[in-house]
């Protein structure tokens, strides 16, 4: 099983994201789950973004961890602690919104973690890879950024292929690539951040 953490920004319900998952509703993500009849195993947050009526309904239907709004960690960081026993964690709605600093904080959690964590909203999917990825066309653009100066990658069946390329930190070469049919990335050494994005013209 995996853990699915719902934040609820720029995300539309997709049943497959919740199949066989331990579901954690975070703050207004819990409201999203209520509105879409998604059963939650636990909810967590300071709930400063939902009104009292919604909060009461949340507490009546699901075990709730109420956090102090004055705290050192984000609600998402706290939720990750409750998902630490799962090897794969999907965080929904963790990319868009007006508070871009939360996206940056979530990416930091990806980099720090030894687990497979995915950030997903309606337009993008972000994750860390150190082995291999297949790109099947669900997203138009494939962007890859290195986390290590000794990173070496190969890209096959891509608009801009590479063979054992040394992708260093801050090298923007691999932004906005595209798969041709089924694309493939092999990470020979190091780690990369993969950002998949849908066509922004649609």
Chain segment 119-165, per-residue pLDDT in tens: 999 999 999 999 999 999 889 999 999 999 999 999 999 999 999 99
Question: Tokens 């990369």 identify what position?
Answer: 192
Residue 142: the pLDDT is: 98
Over residues 33-52, the pLDDT tens digits come to: 999 999 999 999 989 888 99
More confident of the two residues 4 and 102: 4
Looking at the predicted structure, is the pLDDT value of residue 98 above 80? no
Segment 187-195 shows an average pLDDT of 97
Looking at the predicted structure, is the pLDDT value of residue 96 above 80? no
Over residues 7-36, the pLDDT tens digits come to: 977 899 999 999 999 999 999 999 999 999
Looking at the predicted structure, is the pLDDT value of residue 69 above 90? no
SS (HEC) of 111-155: HHCCCEEEEECCCEEEEEECCEEEECCCCCEEEEEECCCCEEEEE
Give the burial class of 156: count Cβ atoms within 10 A of its Cβ; 0-12 exposed, 13-18 middle, 19 or more buried.
middle
Looking at the predicted structure, is the pLDDT value of residue 97 above 80? no
Q: How distant, in Å, are the alpha carbons of 130, 148, 167, 192 from that of 151? A: 9, 5, 5, 8
Percentage of residues in the chain having pLDDT higher than 90: 77
Question: In 3D, which of 94, 106, 25, 7 has the Cα closest to residue 66?
Answer: 25
Asked whether the beta carbons of 76 and 5 are under 8 A apart, the reply is yes
Segment 96-119 shows an average pLDDT of 87
What's the mean per-residue pLDDT of the chain? 92
Question: In 3D, which of 29, 7, 22 has the Cα closest to residue 84?
Answer: 22
Segment 59-80 shows an average pLDDT of 87
Question: In 3D, which of 20, 152, 14 has the Cα closest to residue 93?
Answer: 14
């Amino acid at each position: 099983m995996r853990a699915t953490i719902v934040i609820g920004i720029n995300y539309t319900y997709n049943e497959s994201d919740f199949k066989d998952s331990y579901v954690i509703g975070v703050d207004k993500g819990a409201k999203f789950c209520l509105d879409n009849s998604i059963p939650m195993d636990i909810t967590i947050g300071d709930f400063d973004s939902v009104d009292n009526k919604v909060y009461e309904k949340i507490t009546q239907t699901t075990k709730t961890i109420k956090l102090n709004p004055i705290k050192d960690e984000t609600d998402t960081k706290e939720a990750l602690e409750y998902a630490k026993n799962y090897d794969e964690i999907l965080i929904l709605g963790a990319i868009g919104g007006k508070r871009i600093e939360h996206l940056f904080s979530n990416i930091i959690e990806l980099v720090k973690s030894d687990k497979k964590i995915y950030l997903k909203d309606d337009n993008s999917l972000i994750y860390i890879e150190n082995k291999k990825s297949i790109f099947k066309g669900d997203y138009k653009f494939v962007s890859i950024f290195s986390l290590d100066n000794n990173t070496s990658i190969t890209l096959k069946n891509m608009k801009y292929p590479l063979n054992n390329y040394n992708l260093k930190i801050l090298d923007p070469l691999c932004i906005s690539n595209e798969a041709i049919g089924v694309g493939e990335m092999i990470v020979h050494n190091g780690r990369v951040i993969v950002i998949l994005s849908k066509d922004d013209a649609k």
